[in-house]
Structures are given as structure tokens and as C-alpha cells.
Amino acid sequence: MTTLVDSFGRIHKDLRISLTDRCNLRCSYCMPAEGLQWLNQADVLSAGEIVRVARLLVQYGGITSVRLTGGEPTVRADLLEIVEQLSQLGVDLSLTTNGTRLVKLAERLKVAGLNRMNISIDSLQPQRFAELTHRDQCEQVLDGINAAVGAGFSAVKLNVVLMRGINDDEILDFLHFGRKHGVIVRFIEFMPLDAHDKWNETLVVPEREILATAGEVFAFTRGERGSAPSSRFFYNDGVGEFGVISSVSAPFCDSCDRIRLTSDGQLRNCLFATRHLDVKSLLRSDTDNETIIQAIRGEVQKKEAGHNIGNVYFVKPSKSMSQIGG
Ligand code: SAM
Ligand code: SF4
């Protein structure tokens, strides 16, 4: 068997690898201003370990796309080396970053073999950006977006987490920005995965509200979603598209095809999983490839039907988004 299938028959093709739990920003919806207790470096998977797991999953698990994330993946000194090696696997290779280091890195990442780039930015206003991230680096990220577009990636997407009363007045500004700069803006509903329990339902700006605001100015048509988490909306005048990731108001668990490897080597079958497989221990105990892949298959089979946000059965994972890898 060369696919990873859960007990509902869902085939998993998409691997998210968190390269680090560390970050140089402090987004208010993600972690507290003082940061988190970072992992010891000895507990973080090495480049060689990451590439070994990815290769196994591509060769024997049917994984066809790999996204690197974190924490902030660009704080890792061996990022280019990891990208180079993963690009040899013939997968669709992408990166999610806060964009602060892209002026230096965008071109080099393209040369190393990265295909696509998602950049997170939650305000286009420098002062608000600084309040949201506790760092005055809005211009740096905007320059990073330009550098990514200039480097010629097959797609550059912007991730925007919307929070009611905080940045939801920028929906139209972001859409104008996306059309002007040739990038796909994706609005993300705020999820209960922050490290410091700031989440509550009233802060979530649901997809229907986002579409109502967009519709005041733009005409657009809903497109096919497939297994992607984002609903896609194409402007009727042909100038690009935007998306909404409605994990809270309209979960897409039925079509989710993702598994995750955390920076400390936990294989998680869902962003909201409350269990994991300790792949790091297998890697560090001379376990053979066949045993590792069988253990991963078993973990995928245990995936739950859905995440239950918003109902009484929801259990928040003990790790936050930045620690699991968003
Ligand atoms: N540091 C990188 C970045 O910010 O793009 C990668 C890691 S970050 C955890 C990945 C994505 O998760 C970002 O787009 C971020 O906005 C999003 N995110 C973080 N916490 C979130 C939350 N509680 N709800 C929704 N999205 C969240
Ligand atoms: Fe860092 Fe990304 Fe979390 Fe912001 S969302 S604090 S950039 S890990």
C-alpha cells in the first residue's frame, strides 16, 4: 500500500513540517508578548531527520506536497539546505512565513527549489502591525512580499487572520492590495489554537461576513475548493482571486488530506489532534524504515472525523498553532 488512509477512507497527500517552534514576531492571536518556552535544540529534528521522514512518506505513503512552517521557518539557519534536499523528492514544495526575512531569502529559496510561498500579514498599517506583532516590521514584510513576487514563485499567497474589532476593517484594503500586487489574499478565521487562551467566538469573523464586505465593492464567483482548506473566489473582471479559510464557521474536515510533523518529531494526524506518534524516538533508536512507515500509517488511521470547534466535545490541543505548525 502506498497511500496513507484514515478509517473514513480519506487519503492523505499533504505533509506539513514545522521546522522550529521559535519565532521573531509575537502575533497577538498566536503567542504572548513575552514569547513561549522554546524547545531545547537537542529535541528539534535535524535536517537529516526531517528529510528522512519526508522521503519515506513520499516513497511509501503517497505524499505529494510538503509545506514548511513553524514557528518561523526562516529563523532556522539550515533552511536553504532543507529546501534543496526536499526539492529533490519531486513534491510540490511550499513555505509559510511571516515574511520578515524574505528580502534576503526569497531569491535564494527559489533557486533552492521552493515552488510556492504563503506570507502572513494581518495589517497593512504600520502602527497596527506593530501593535499586533509587538515588532515594528510592517515595511520589512511588505518589502518581503515584493521580493517573493519578484523571485517568480508559481504562487504567492497572503494569510490574514481576521479578528473582530481589531483588523476586520481592512478586508477591502487587503483585497485592493492583492489585486494590485498580483498576490492571492486568504482570510483565515481565528481558531482556538493560541497559546494564551485569548480566543473566543465573538472574535471570529465568519466567511459570510467577509463575503458581504467584499461584495460591497467587488463582483466575484465561488470556485472549486478540492482538498485545499481555502474557499476560492474569482473576481468576475478576471483580475485574480481571493480565499477564505473558514475552519470555524464551515469546517472542511471531510476533505482534509493533511498530516503534520512538529519540530520535535511528533506526527499529528490533525491540527486539533490531542494525540501524536513520537517519530523522533523511532528515528533516534535505529528503527528501520518499514517499522516507521507502518507506525505512521497506524497513526493516520486513528484520525477523528472532525475537530468539534464550537461544540461541547471540543478539546483544545495542549500545543498551540506555533508549536504544532500552522
Ligand atoms: N510564522 C509563520 C507565519 O506566521 O506564517 C508560520 C507559522 S504560523 C503558526 C502559520 C499560520 O498560522 C499563519 O498564517 C498564522 O497567521 C496562522 N495562525 C496562527 N495562530 C492562529 C490562530 N489562532 N488562528 C488562525 N490562524 C492562526
Ligand atoms: Fe510567529 Fe507565525 Fe505565530 Fe506570528 S503567527 S507569532 S509569525 S509563528
Residue 8 has pLDDT above 70, yes or no: yes
Here the CATH number for the domain that contains residue 47 is 3.20.20.70
Query: How far, in whole angstroms, is CA 193 from its chain's centroid?
Result: 13
Predicted local confidence at residue 193, as pLDDT: 86
The backbone torsions φ and ψ at residue 17, rounded to the nearest 5 degrees and listed phi first, read: -115, 120
**Is the CB of residue 120 below 6 angstroms from any atom belonging to ligand 1?**
yes
Confidence of residue 247 (pLDDT cuts 50, 70, 90): confident
Number of domains the chain contains: 1
Confidence of residue 312 (pLDDT cuts 50, 70, 90): low
Q: Which domain holds residue 119?
A: 4-324
Predicted local confidence at residue 307, as pLDDT: 72
Q: How far apart are CA 157 and CA 278, in angstroms?
A: 32
Predicted local confidence at residue 308, as pLDDT: 67
Confidence of residue 305 (pLDDT cuts 50, 70, 90): confident
176-214 pLDDT, tens digit each:
999 999 999 999 999 988 888 889 999 999 999 999 999
Sequence-separated (6 or more) residues with CB below 8 Å from residue 212: none
**Is the CB of residue 204 below 6 angstroms from any atom belonging to ligand 1?**
no
Predicted local confidence at residue 3, as pLDDT: 92
**Is the CB of residue 193 below 6 angstroms from any atom belonging to ligand 1?**
yes
Is the Cβ–Cβ distance between 52 and 105 less than 8 Å? no
Ligand nearest to the CA of 191: 1
The CA distances from residue 323 to 18, 21, 38, 179, 317, in Å, are: 8, 5, 9, 32, 11
Using CA positions, which residue lies closest to atom 2 of ligand 1?
97
Q: In percent, how much of the chain has pLDDT > 90?
A: 81
The backbone torsions φ and ψ at residue 220, rounded to the nearest 5 degrees and listed phi first, read: -150, 165
Whole-prediction pTM = 0.96
